[in-house]
């Protein structure tokens, strides 16, 4: 054998056909370059411009409708001042609805709050389940903490009801001083993952934040077959813990090989939202680059990342055999069954 040439889509298809981990196999194959009787001339990750798909009209319509409702909820939260969150509440359900329009051949859970697959694809001939997707929606606009009394308040409520409104100078410590909480996470059932991962090839996770009048919405795919992601959840299961708190942009997030499939902005400064699509491609395979700043100084030295730039190719992390960090396991969150 003189040389081998693969494009990444071809390599994905090859690995999927044989049940192999894409990036781990890629790293191992690259190491074969050291063998004298084997020369690999070109094993390349395509660096072509991202391919854009058109946002489905039904998806666009529903996102605009949802954004308009959230604009109204933000205004309500700002004016009612009753310690009741209105904005971005119940976003889990909206994520499942968006998934229906992203994959028109899929069906919902047919359940109101019961334990069922979030997004299902049914075989048209047998009417049996072919596979399913787990859908999560993480809203980074959490409640806020009053710096004076340490009590909670809704994200857009202008002041703390316990401390009251204030007309003092900005330097004072009054009920209008807050610390914003943005530590939301996707809750993943380790037991359900282990029990049903043969039917769950991917997890779809939406991440949303709102700055001023601009909603930023991204969507990522995580493959169940990814060694790190599966091991991360398996570790929780082995320790008899029911749930994983999967925090967006954390160490575990980046090491689990997130693939961005959607990125849009929605301007809600006016009654009719204006949507801007930055990226949309359900067939995307490019794993997000890993920020160097997620590593500790000790890890940078351990994995010889001193010369790396601000962002590192995921394949480099695989080649360096980056390991999971020890976990401070929290309380159990119960058991899960599916139907």
Span 97-136, pLDDT tens digits: 999 999 999 999 887 766 679 999 999 999 999 999 999 9
Q: Which tokens in the block code for residue 174?
A: 């009054």
Mean pLDDT of 284-296: 95
* CA 179/CA 153 separation, integer angstroms: 10
Mean pLDDT of 19-31: 59
CB 32 within 8 A of CB 38: yes
* Residue 48 pLDDT greater than 80, yes or no: no
Q: What is the pLDDT of residues 194-207, one digit of tens each?
A: 999 999 999 999 99
Long-range contacts of 227-234 (CB under 8 A, 24+ apart): 227/21, 227/24, 228/252, 228/255, 228/256, 228/257, 228/322, 228/324, 229/256, 229/257, 230/193, 230/197, 231/324, 232/256, 232/324, 233/188, 233/190, 233/193, 233/194, 234/190, 234/194
Question: Considering the chain, what is the average pLDDT of its residues?
Answer: 83
At 52 the pLDDT is: 75
Q: Which tokens in the block code for residue 180?
A: 């914003």
Mean pLDDT of 312-316: 94
At 330 the pLDDT is: 47
Helix axes 8-18, 22-31, angle to 10 degrees: 110
* CA 180/CA 155 separation, integer angstroms: 8
At 335 the pLDDT is: 43
Mean pLDDT lowest among 2-6, 18-22, 324-328: 2-6
**CA distances, 243 to each of 112, 115, 207, 249 (Å):** 21, 14, 19, 18
* Residue 143 pLDDT greater than 80, yes or no: yes
Could you tell me whether strands 152-153 and 144-146 are parallel, antiparallel, or unpaired per DSSP bridges?
antiparallel
* Residue 338 pLDDT greater than 50, yes or no: no
Mean pLDDT lowest among 6-10, 15-19, 214-218, 307-311: 6-10
Q: Grade residue 168 by pLDDT with cuts at 50, 70 and 90.
A: low
Mean pLDDT of 243-271: 95
Which of 28-42, 56-70, 162-176 tops mean pLDDT? 56-70
Mean pLDDT of 300-309: 91
Residues in the chain: 339
Mean pLDDT of 262-282: 97
Share above pLDDT 70 across residues of the chain, in percent, rounded to a whole number: 77
Query: Burial code of 193-220, b = ≥16 C-beta within 10 A, e = fewer?
Result: beebeebbebbbbbbbbbeeeebebbbb
Mean pLDDT of 294-321: 93
* CA 285/CA 22 separation, integer angstroms: 10
- Residue 127 burial (10 A CB sphere; 0-12, 13-18, 19+): exposed
**CA distances, 201 to each of 204, 260, 301 (Å):** 10, 16, 35
**209: which residues sit within 8 A by CB, 6+ positions away?**
139, 140, 141, 182, 215, 216
At 231 the pLDDT is: 92
**267: which residues sit within 8 A by CB, 6+ positions away?**
213, 214, 273, 274, 275, 276
């Amino acid at each position: 054998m003189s040389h081998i040439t693969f494009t990444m889509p071809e390599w994905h298809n090859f690995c999927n056909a044989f049940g192999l981990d894409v990036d781990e196999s890629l790293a191992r194959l690259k190491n074969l370059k050291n063998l004298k009787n084997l020369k690999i001339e070109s094993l390349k990750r395509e660096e072509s411009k991202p391919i854009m798909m058109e946002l489905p009209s039904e998806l666009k319509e529903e996102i605009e409708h949802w954004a308009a409702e959230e604009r109204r909820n933000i205004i309500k939260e700002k004016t009612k001042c009753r310690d009741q969150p209105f904005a971005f509440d119940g976003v889990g359900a909206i994520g499942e609805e968006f998934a229906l329009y992203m994959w028109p051949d899929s069906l919902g859970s047919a359940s109101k709050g019961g334990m069922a697959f979030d997004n299902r694809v049914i075989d048209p001939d047998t009417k049996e389940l072919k596979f399913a997707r787990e859908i999560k929606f993480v809203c980074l606009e959490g409640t806020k903490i009053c710096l004076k009394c340490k009590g909670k308040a809704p994200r857009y409520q202008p002041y703390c009801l316990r401390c009251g409104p204030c007309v003092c100078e900005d330097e004072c410590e009054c009920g209008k001083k807050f610390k914003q909480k943005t530590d939301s996470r996707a809750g993943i059932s380790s037991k359900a993952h282990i029990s049903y991962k043969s039917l769950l090839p991917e997890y779809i996770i939406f991440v949303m934040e709102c700055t001023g009048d601009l909603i930023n919405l991204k969507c990522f795919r995580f493959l169940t077959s990814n060694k790190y992601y599966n091991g991360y959840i398996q570790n929780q299961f082995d320790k008899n813990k029911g749930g994983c708190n999967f925090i967006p942009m954390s160490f575990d997030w980046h090491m689990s090989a997130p693939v961005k499939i959607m990125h849009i902005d929605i301007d809600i400064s006016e009654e009719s939202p204006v949507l801007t699509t930055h990226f949309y491609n359900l067939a995307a395979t490019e794993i997000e680059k890993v920020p160097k700043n997620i590593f500790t100084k000790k890890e940078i030295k351990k994995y010889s990342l001193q010369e790396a730039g601000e962002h590192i190719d995921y394949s480099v992390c695989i080649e360096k055999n980056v390991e999971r960090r020890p976990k401070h396991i929290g309380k159990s969150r119960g058991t899960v069954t599916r139907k």
